[in-house]
């Protein structure tokens, strides 16, 4: 069984994001790029499947478009237990649309044998939809989003999908299929730096060029901007002790603190 | 017809949910402006038409294979409705349904897609969608100028009242699509979350914690505060996914919707999926070291004091 894990880089949301001069994209120059957190869960689920089915029977291939700092993410995937990592060159720079991403991966998959594609349920800049649904449709195979568990059994994969409010639907999906993972059965494992260094030295990262087709599925962005501060929050200032005093006062005013 | 706006209805426990009426209200406004009709797609279950009086037409599709919920079956059924209705714009929620069906409809129907939409307007014959990106830190205003479009909308973006009206809209029964007899994905069961233990939905005061807490060991700190305030501890999704707290403690879209008198939160950024679960709390007090965190847009009181400095001060004042 061969599982392809589609991963990507994303601006670190903890950082301040500035809009560039065009006014339609973030300023990518000084931003830190990190792996999309949902893709890390996708990789974890793939590794759990590999461990569950048998390490010698499952091959896990991590694939990513060539984007800033993506080597780090792919080497980390290898260090965690992926068998192969592939970087797809030939993609445009900047804000790559979900339709372009999906079509690049679909194109590459034509040359591959695979049973499952697992990717993150979403990324924070998915303006034109999420890759799993787009890719599933492009490949003409079933796809499921918001997956929280995937366990193969023969030629089907038993999938748990979260609906609203924590309700989970169980589905049996014939492979090949595409899954968008929300959370893996366990939180993503940690790769020690030494293991990542080993992976880098072993050089298990291959590069292939893909043909990329247009951006047709994405509406034209004419403005990207920070939401106006509704100014709703009244900011409590001063030392930690001052702020603590004010918070207690607020809660007490609601009758929720006894003394 | 060419200027119609089609809403994909959603249900929970058999009942149509708020998002359906929120989208219908918007559909009525957009279709009205363009001389089109507001339409609703009822997939699998045709009940509830009498609550959809705000719609001009309701398309229903039923058939074997649509029992339970399976993205593949719903995708095919929605395709049949879209073929029959031939709308200008299809609206759905950015829910599991929208995450499943939005992208695939965009590809199969050949229409551009805007997701995480919180605002929708028309400009001449164009549709202008405002989407919330980067966890709510930035908004993108995008123009869709072709003859077709799909938008998935964040719940709570439009008032539901505008879409709630009794009546008897025209009902069009759409034939079940052929493919339903040879599905590759099969629904097998629904599992409800374990609701034993804590019930965060009835508390007057919640102490809530997010990824800013850093590690499981640090949870002790906020647990102590929750204890001193005699309040349950709730959390954002990452805390649950890492197994640091059980699922019934989760606030948000895929957790619990809460409406306490006071929601006191630490290290939560305020992603749209989290806000969906707590934005209606009477008073929200947020602690986050990032002054640009979206949580401050919904909070009534905020502080950028480090939670590791603030929480011990709070505990000290309350005694234990
Ligand atoms: C389909 C779907 C459903 C989802 N459902 C939910 C849901 O039900 N509930 C939910 O919560 N999320 C849900 N999410 C996830 C959501 O998108 C966010 O990833 C999540 O809410 C982020 O949690 P957080 O705010 O704790 O973490 P982060 O976004 O990482 O924020 C951590 C914050 O802590 C602050 N911080 C760091 N250190 C400190 C410090 N020392 N003191 C004070 N502040 C500090 C940082 O500035 C940052 O803003 C869902 C996602 C999807 C795709
Ligand atoms: N007939 C339906 N129409 C639309 N959405 C549905 C329907 N049945 C199930 N769903 C989806 O499945 C979720 C759970 O529905 P339920 O199984 O009724 O709790 C809903 O929130 C919808 O996303």
Amino acid B287: pLDDT: 98
Amino acid B65: pLDDT: 86
Amino acid B64: pLDDT: 86
From residue A91, alpha-carbon distances to A36, B88, B188 in Å are 18, 31, 40
For chain B, list the domains and their CATH numbers. 5-182 (3.40.50.620), 200-319 (3.40.50.1220)
- Point out the residue among B17, B189, B302 whose CB comes nearest to the CB of A233: B302
Angle at B246 between CA B242 and CA B249, to 5 degrees: 110
pLDDT over 70 at B243, yes or no: yes
Amino acid B3: pLDDT: 93
* Separation of alpha carbons B95 and B100, rounded Å: 8
Amino acid A231: pLDDT: 67
Residues 87-116 of B with CB under 8 A from A: 95-96, 99-104, 106-108, 111-116
* Size of chain A in residues: 259
The string of pLDDT tens digits covering residues A143-200 is 999 999 999 999 999 999 999 878 899 999 999 999 999 999 999 999 999 999 999 9
A141 neighbourhood in chain B, CB within 8 Å = 184
* Separation of alpha carbons B190 and B184, rounded Å: 19
- Point out the residue among A127, A162, A223 whose CB comes nearest to the CB of B96: A162
From residue A1, alpha-carbon distances to A56, A138, A152, A160, A179 in Å are 10, 21, 10, 20, 15
- Point out the residue among A172, A233, A237 whose CB comes nearest to the CB of B286: A233
Give me the mean pLDDT over the B159-180 stretch. Answer: 93
Amino acid B192: pLDDT: 86
Q: Whose CA is nearest to atom 8 of ligand 1?
A: B252
Ligand 1 atom closest to residue B288's alpha carbon, by position in its atom list: 44
φ/ψ of A72, rounded to 5, equals: -60, -45
Give me the mean pLDDT over the A218-238 stretch. Answer: 90
Amino acid B289: pLDDT: 97
Give me the mean pLDDT over the B162-166 stretch. Answer: 92
Amino acid B144: pLDDT: 95
In this prediction, residue B72 has a pLDDT band, given cuts at 50, 70 and 90, of: very high
A38-52, A109-123, B156-170: least confidently modelled range: B156-170
Ligand 2 centre to CA of B192 (Å) is 13
The answer to whether residue B216 neighbours chain A at the CB level (below 8 Å) is: no
* Separation of alpha carbons B93 and B19, rounded Å: 6
Give the closest-approach CA distance of B108 to chain A in angstroms: 7
Ligand 1 atom closest to residue B310's alpha carbon, by position in its atom list: 42
* Separation of alpha carbons A69 and A31, rounded Å: 11
Dihedral of the alpha carbons of B220, B226, B227, B232, in degrees to the nearest 10 = -110
Give me the mean pLDDT over the B187-215 stretch. Answer: 91
pLDDT over 60 at B22, yes or no: yes
Contact criterion met (CB < 8 Å) for B296 and A232: yes
Give the closest-approach CA distance of B39 to chain A in angstroms: 23
Amino acid B320: pLDDT: 55
Q: Contact A77/A5 with Cβ under 8 angstroms?
A: yes
Amino acid A30: pLDDT: 86
The answer, yes or no, to whether any atom of ligand 2 lies below 6 A from the CB of B47, is: no
The answer to whether residue A193 neighbours chain B at the CB level (below 8 Å) is: no
Question: What is the CATH topology of the domain spanning A2-209?
Answer: Rossmann fold (3.40.50)
> Which of these, A100, A147, A89, lies nearest to A122 by C-alpha position?
A147
The answer, yes or no, to whether any atom of ligand 1 lies below 6 A from the CB of A121, is: yes
User: Could you give the percent of chain B with pLDDT greater than 90?
Assistant: 88
Give me the mean pLDDT over the A74-79 stretch. Answer: 98
Q: Which two tokens stand for residue B173?
A: 């029964």
Ligand 1 atom closest to residue B251's alpha carbon, by position in its atom list: 9
The answer to whether residue A62 neighbours chain B at the CB level (below 8 Å) is: no
Residue of B nearest to A103 (CA): B107
Q: Whose CA is nearest to atom 43 of ligand 1?
A: B288
Contact criterion met (CB < 8 Å) for B262 and A251: yes
pLDDT over 90 at A203, yes or no: no
DSSP calls for B3-31: T-EEEE--EETTEEPHHHHHHHHHHHHHH
Amino acid A22: pLDDT: 96
The string of pLDDT tens digits covering residues B115-149 is 999 999 999 999 999 999 999 999 999 999 989 99
In this prediction, residue A202 has a pLDDT band, given cuts at 50, 70 and 90, of: very high
In this prediction, residue A63 has a pLDDT band, given cuts at 50, 70 and 90, of: very high
Give me the mean pLDDT over the B261-274 stretch. Answer: 96
The answer to whether residue B259 neighbours chain A at the CB level (below 8 Å) is: no
In this prediction, residue A258 has a pLDDT band, given cuts at 50, 70 and 90, of: low
B144: which strand partners? Answer: B127
Q: Which two tokens stand for residue A81?
A: 């237990």
Taking the domains of chain A in order of start, what are their residue ranges?
Answer: 2-209
B89: which strand partners? Answer: B5, B149
> Which of these, A44, A190, A160, A65, lies nearest to B189 by C-alpha position?
A160
pLDDT over 60 at B171, yes or no: yes
Amino acid A214: pLDDT: 66
Residue of B nearest to A147 (CA): B96
User: Could you give the percent of chain A with pLDDT greater than 70?
Assistant: 98
- Point out the residue among A142, A160, A216 whose CB comes nearest to the CB of B184: A142
pLDDT over 80 at B196, yes or no: no
B191 neighbourhood in chain A, CB within 8 Å = 160, 167-170
Amino acid B197: pLDDT: 80
* Separation of alpha carbons B288 and B308, rounded Å: 11
Give the closest-approach CA distance of A57 to chain B in angstroms: 23
Q: Contact B282/B288 with Cβ under 8 angstroms?
A: no
């Amino acid at each position: 069984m061969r599982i392809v894990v589609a991963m990507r880089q994303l601006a670190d949301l903890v950082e301040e994001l500035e809009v560039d001069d065009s006014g339609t994209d973030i300023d990518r120059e000084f931003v830190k790029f990190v792996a999309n957190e949902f893709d890390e869960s996708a990789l974890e689920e793939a590794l759990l499947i590999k461990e569950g089915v048998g390490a010698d029977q499952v091959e896990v291939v991590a694939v990513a478009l060539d984007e800033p700092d993506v080597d780090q993410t792919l080497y980390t995937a290898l260090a965690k237990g992926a068998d192969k990592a592939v970087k797809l060159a030939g993609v445009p720079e900047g804000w790559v649309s979900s339709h372009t991403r999906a079509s690049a991966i679909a194109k590459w998959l034509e040359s591959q044998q695979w049973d499952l594609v697992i990717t993150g349920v979403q990324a924070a800049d998915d303006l034109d939809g999420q890759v799993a649904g787009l890719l599933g449709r492009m490949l003409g195979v079933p796809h499921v989003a918001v997956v929280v568990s995937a366990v193969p059994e023969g030629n089907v994969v038993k999938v748990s999908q979260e609906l609203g409010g924590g309700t989970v639907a169980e589905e049996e999906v014939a492979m090949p299929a595409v899954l968008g993972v929300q959370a893996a059965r366990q939180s993503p494992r940690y790769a020690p730096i030494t293991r990542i260094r080993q992976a880098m030295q072993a050089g298990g990262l291959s590069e292939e060029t893909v043909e990329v087709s247009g951006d047709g599925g994405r509406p034209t962005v004419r403005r990207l901007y920070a939401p106006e501060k509704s100014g709703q929050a009244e900011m409590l200032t001063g030392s930690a002790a001052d702020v603590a005093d004010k918070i207690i006062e607020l809660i007490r005013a609601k009758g929720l603190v006894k003394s | 017809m060419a200027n119609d706006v089609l809403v994909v209805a959603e249900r929970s426990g058999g009942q149509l949910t708020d998002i359906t009426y929120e989208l219908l209200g918007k559909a009525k406004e957009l279709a009205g402006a363009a001389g089109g009709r507001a339409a609703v797609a009822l997939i699998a279950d045709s009940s509830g038409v009498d609550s959809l009086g705000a719609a001009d037409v309701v398309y229903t599709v039923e058939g074997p294979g649509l029992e339970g919920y399976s993205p593949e079956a719903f995708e095919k059924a929605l395709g049949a409705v879209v073929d029959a209705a031939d709308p200008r714009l299809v609206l759905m929620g950015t829910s599991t349904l929208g995450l499943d069906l939005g992208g695939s409809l965009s590809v199969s129907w050949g229409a551009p897609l805007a997701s995480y939409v919180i605002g929708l307007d028309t400009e001449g014959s164009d549709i202008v969608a405002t989407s919330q990106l980067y966890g709510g830190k930035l908004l993108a205003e995008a123009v869709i100028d072709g003859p077709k479009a799909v938008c998935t909308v964040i719940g709570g973006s439009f008032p539901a009242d505008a879409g709630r009206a009794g009546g008897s809209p025209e009902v069009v029964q759409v034939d079940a699509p052929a493919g339903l007899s040879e599905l590759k994905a099969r629904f097998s069961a629904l599992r409800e979350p374990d609701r034993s233990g804590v019930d965060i939905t009835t508390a007057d005061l919640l102490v809530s914690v997010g990824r800013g807490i850093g590690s499981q060991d640090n949870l002790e700190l906020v647990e102590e505060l929750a204890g001193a305030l005699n309040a349950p501890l709730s959390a954002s999704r990452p805390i649950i996914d890492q197994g640091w707290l059980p699922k019934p403690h989760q606030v948000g879209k895929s957790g619990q919707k809460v409406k306490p008198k006071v929601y006191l939160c630490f290290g939560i950024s305020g992603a749209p999926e989290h806000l969906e679960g707590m934005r209606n709390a009477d008073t929200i007090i947020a602690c986050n070291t990032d002054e640009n965190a979206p949580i401050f847009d919904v909070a009534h009181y905020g502080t950028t004091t480090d939670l590791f400095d603030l929480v011990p001060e709070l505990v000290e004042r309350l005694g234990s």
